[in-house]
Structure 1
Amino acid sequence: MPAARSSFLGEALTHNAAISARSLSSMCAAPHGLPSPPTAEVEEDGEAGKGEAGSPPTPPYRQQHLPPSTDEEMDERSPYDRVLYGLHHDPRWLKEVTLGRRVGFYRFRGELGQGNFSTVRLAVHQLTRDKVAIKVIDKSKLDQKTQRMLAREIANMDTLAHPNIIRLFEVVESLSRIHLVLEFAGGGELFNTITTEGRMTEAQAAAVFTQVLSAITYLHGLSIIHRDIKAENVFVSGPGHVKLGDFGFSTRVSDLEQQLSTFCGSPPYAAPELYKDESYLGPAVDTWALGVLLFFILTADMPFKAPTVAGLKRHILTGVYETPSHVSPEAASLISSLLVQDPSERPTTATIADHPFLSDAPCPATASRPLCSRPNLRQYA
């Protein structure tokens, strides 16, 4: 089956020049995300890959995928070549692809979660044995608006490299689905951790909050607004270590003073200006959500709650909430500075980082000093 660029990704690439060559290659790959065959360089004397007289030359990549004549020949191939051969010729692997149990170099292991248009599944890379989370999106369920949102999500994530942000490794497209291959955080959602184990100590909360703050500072430095900060989108990747994910509502602005108008995010985390049907500044909306997140981490409860969205809106516009007595004055001070009704009075991420509540929190890793890195696949080639 010949590879073809779908109408969706064709539009996505047209509207998102920020997508790098790595993702361009992945999104325009052959069916099931197989690497595109390399272009054969034809020497001037015409000898390279020459077949029988009168017949077209056999490109080197075709020769590479031909069945081995002996077991010894197969053993001499690199691990990458053996896997690539299996993906093209092994009936068992081809059946797994057909049944949706495998995509490209990844074999699915189980389901991690579901959304309106997608399913997140655990998968393992055939070569590295690394676990990844693959967001599987059914293209038939996407309208023009959700297509634009997905294209924006891919374009924004493709530029990010921060130890407290879930990485997008590649995008693989088939005829009916789009697969976002994401970094896997084995601890699951911070929301589930807190609802199961209870609120964190203030030292733990400060450490976790500082990491999310580091991620948001990095995003705002790139003029990217997340617009959906919540405990469900913060993932535990190890003891005391978290990563921010889900960039479906994210947007890139021309500058941080640009006015936005689309209501985005989860209602309990939404800033009051979002409920006023007014234009708003992106950084201030993220800052408000950080205040709600910190309150939740420290109390395992929400500052504003109601059985209906209308009731929730009234509480948020009033701005009145009750801080439990176990929350220290320093923590309460930081929360109150973030949950200010006037967005112009909310602190910047730099000011937040200097708050006394965070003074003893361990310094998070930075983009230039990551805690971990993905294994280099070139060692398998």
Structure 2
Amino acid sequence: MDLWGILKCMTPGHKDIPLQKWIEPIGRANKECDIHEPNISSKHCTIEKRMIGNETIFFITDVSSNGTWVNHSLIDKLEQVPLTCYDEITLLDPNLQKKKCISYMFVDIEFEKKESALGGPQSRYEILDFLGIGGFGVVRKVKRISDGTLWAMKKINISKARAKGEDKMIRNECDVLRQVNHPSIIKLGEVLETRDFVYIIMEFISGGNLLRGVRLANEHEREIHKQELDTLKEKMADCVNKHKVDEYNVLEEKYLNLKEEIDYTAFSEDVCRLIVKQILEALKYLHSKNIIHRDLKLENIMWTGKNYEIRVTDFGFGRVVGDDFIAGTICGTTLYAPPEFYKRQPYNGPKADIYSCGIVLYNMICNSFPFDCSLSPSELARAISEGKIIKRKKLESSSIELIDLLNNMLCVDPEKRFTSEQCLNHEFFKRKHEASSSLIEISKPAF
């Protein structure tokens, strides 16, 4: 049988695997794979080509002991999972076994030929590393052949999106990106469209998203205080052995207070100031052009890898509106949605973006959402509607200016909630102040 596909190896030190059989076994036993890692099974998974009517379908089946991941998601053992061109296949856990796992990009040769002939990116871009997966398709790093510049390519099955009535979101993103030009907003390279697919070529951002940044900042905080916590635990254990109840209680309270502060700490105020100012400047620009984002969240804010520069991304819910626009459709991610969403009220789009930005800022400071996420959906909706924001310990040592800005961004009443311009003119961005221990009591409106 002729060569119909390739597993292009994305892990240095390993080779590509040609796909020729109807069912191709992948693992240590297949000499074509040249795999010697003992944690990878002799027969780890199979790649199958199958004809269903006039359509060619590809499947991957995991038969391993230690798991197979497709686009960084573990697939169930013995389950046949459909594959599409440029999907990422990883043998072993890509998160926990980075040094041992091997990753491949699945390439459907016939698909590449057809898409290239129809105006796709295949002849102009070299397809490289896996960057992520969204609701509509895979995102990969690509290199423009003409000049060697790096970009991010979002591959979207537009025919499937159209069948689900979701193609409008894709058009929205393209329309918004074509209209904007701001240093803190992701830049559009070009949009290529074939019969069944849309390829959005965007600025490549190397630093990951802000959610990852918050998690890394918290991990750093934990590392800094690890020795202090361990010492307290040792002293507590000693108190138990010596039956020193009063001393144990004092140490336990100190330990729990410190642990709570560490658990709910991410960035410093200075770092938050640098980042949130860029987000607000991007929102001010968008709102001045009557564009609302409607899905602002940590995952949609990317690091450039240069200092604290960010880019606002993912305009699938974005919309160009008139000056008097009042939205009636709930969009975006619910934990970032303002109280008026939960009250089923029409809402002011720009003010909804500001509320979402306030949730982002709270996360950046406290490494958590401002609400009790263990509540039932109805209880959580009520808490958000009523502005019942949790008073994290970290906020007790935060500046008056930060607390006041959060109050005005997370204000339940959208009429009283700040605009992007009011936020940028706030004292928080103008000068530094000493922290106060009585901030929560001073700032009553939201906290």
Pick from 308, 311, 316 the counterpart of residue 243 of structure 1. 311
- Asked if structure 2 preserves the Cα contact closer than 8 Å seen for 1:228 and 1:249, the reply is yes
The gaps in structure 2 that reach 5 residues or longer are 1-108, 219-265, 433-447
In the alignment, does 2:332 pair up with 1:265? yes
Q: Deviations over 1:217-245 (max 9, x none)?
A: 00001000001111110000122100100
* RMSD, aligned α-carbons: 2.3
| Equivalent residue runs for 1:1-381 within 5 Å | 97-98=112-113, 103-143=122-162, 145-198=165-218, 199-237=266-304, 238-255=306-323, 257-307=324-374, 308-321=376-389, 322-323=391-392, 324=394, 325-360=396-431
CA distance in 2, matches of 1:301, 1:97: 43
- Asked if structure 2 preserves the Cα contact closer than 8 Å seen for 1:268 and 1:312, the reply is no
- Say which SS state the counterpart of residue 343 (structure 1) adopts: coil
Shift of 1:99: 9.0
Q: Deviations over 1:180-211 (max 9, x none)?
A: 00111100101111112221111111000000
- Asked if structure 1 preserves the Cα contact closer than 8 Å seen for 2:115 and 2:194, the reply is no
- Asked if structure 1 preserves the Cα contact closer than 8 Å seen for 2:140 and 2:153, the reply is yes
Q: Deviations over 1:82-127 (max 9, x none)?
A: xxxxxxxxxxxx8793398962421111211112222111111112
- Say which SS state the counterpart of residue 259 (structure 1) adopts: coil
| TM-score w.r.t. length of structure 1 | 0.67
Amino acid at match of 2:326: Q
Name whichever of 181-190 and 306-315 sits farther off: 306-315
Name the structure with the higher strand share.
Answer: 2
Q: Deviations over 1:17-73 (max 9, x none)?
A: xxxxxxxxxxxxxxxxxxxxxxxxxxxxxxxxxxxxxxxxxxxxxxxxxxxxxxxxx
Give the count of matched residue pairs. 269
Amino acid at match of 1:175: R
Amino acid at match of 1:193: G
Identity %: 30
CA distance in 1, matches of 2:303, 2:314: 14
The gaps in structure 1 that reach 5 residues or longer are 1-93, 362-381
CA distance in 2, matches of 1:328, 1:297: 15
What's the counterpart of residue 80 of structure 2?
none
Q: Closer, same or farther in 2 for the Cα pair 1:309/1:119, shift >3 Å?
A: farther
- Asked if structure 2 preserves the Cα contact closer than 8 Å seen for 1:185 and 1:236, the reply is yes
CA distance in 2, matches of 1:127, 1:240: 30
CA distance in 2, matches of 1:178, 1:104: 15
Name the structure with the higher helix share.
Answer: 1
CA distance in 1, matches of 2:139, 2:115: 13
Shift of 1:356: 0.9
